[in-house]
Structure 1
Amino acid sequence: KSTSIDEEIRTTILSLLTNLCSEKHIRHCAVNETDLLQILIDDLGQNENEHELNLLGLLINITNEPSPNLEETYRNLCEKILTKLKHSTHHQRMFTLLGNVAMHYNQAIDILVENKITVSISQALQQDADEEKIRAAVRLLALCTKSNDQGQQAVANDKKLLSLIYEQLMKSQHSLLIGNSALMFGNISAHPSTRQFLKKNPGIEKTIGQMLKLVEESWLSKAAKKN
């Protein structure tokens, strides 16, 4: 990072790095052989950062796989994002980034749940529930409820959040949204509040049908490739 870099050049550099780091080998070199990750995290922590969207895109790419440097910095990264969530409009990318980290490190899930990530997600979706944001949020919720009791309880007790996700699940044709929503509901199904919610909301048969259709399409696709 250098304050002497022209802002237009800075934007170009971030875009170039984002594109380069979509390639696995380059991403591996950038994360493990440079200080890029720590520099980006420090930069993201600035109070007013007009490059926040670009930074998040680059961080999403370079957190696609676990790495020694990410293991050393993911706590700091989570804390930065949790602070930014309160005032940022880039929720979709933040949820995607946190989902990447949560996928690699169970302790990251503990940090997120302890800092009430489910409340942040619920508030963000109530403000604007576009499908891309919901897809990223539901993926993160599926991870946070997989084996974390506190996370399961928090989601199960948030009726507004359940209603938002259930509504999207019923009308969506996107396989990842359907799959992660079903996973999330499965993770919290043991809680009485979840069972009560599902009893009051018709359409669970449609969800099962959608999941079976996805499995069938996947099997047919694999069979076609073999033949």
Structure 2
Amino acid sequence: MGLRERKKATTRRALQRAAVRLAVERGSEHVTVDDIAAAADVSKRTFFNYFSSKEEAIVGDGPPRPDDEARAVFVAHGPTGDLLDDLKIFLLSPLADSDAEDLGQRLADVHERKRLAQREPHLVPRVMAAFADMERYVGESVAERLGEDPDDIRPQIVASLGITAMRFSMRRLQTHAGADGSADARDDVSELRALFDQAFDALRRTFRPAA
């Protein structure tokens, strides 16, 4: 991304982080757009350049989405030619440019939103919609790679497996962090990648054709 795009992405993340932090602290009904904008050190007008409502900012964008470059490589049967390996690399690609601190904050935000949704069930449909949007994007990418329609069963099943592996890995990482009594595990990019590897290895062993 260019400098302008990076600044916009930084502002968007700052607004989302402020929104979820305030919602966890006060309850979403006690948070206003003015509160979120002030916490992110931007104007109310700037807030509405990014989000249409406080609920949209609180729920956020869902899981990190692969960019157009990663999608083009995946659709072109890259980088390895193996569908399962390439799907794993495709889903992990948003982490390639993330340092440990940024990744840790993203994971912490996901964890906070999960807690918030458990406490405020009216947010659950919005949270689920964010994951559904990601799954739809992955399904369309798989369909293009396979030369099939996005509504066909195979692209949708493959996408669902990939998203499930992602959610499992993130949940497992958060569980490890909680068991250790520390947030350090959330900052460990290597551990998240290792968990992703384990999840996909389990899928491969389960669905490997019999010799």
After TM superposition, is the score higher than 0.5? no
Larger radius of gyration: 1
Higher RCO (C-alpha under 8 Å, 6+ residues apart):
2
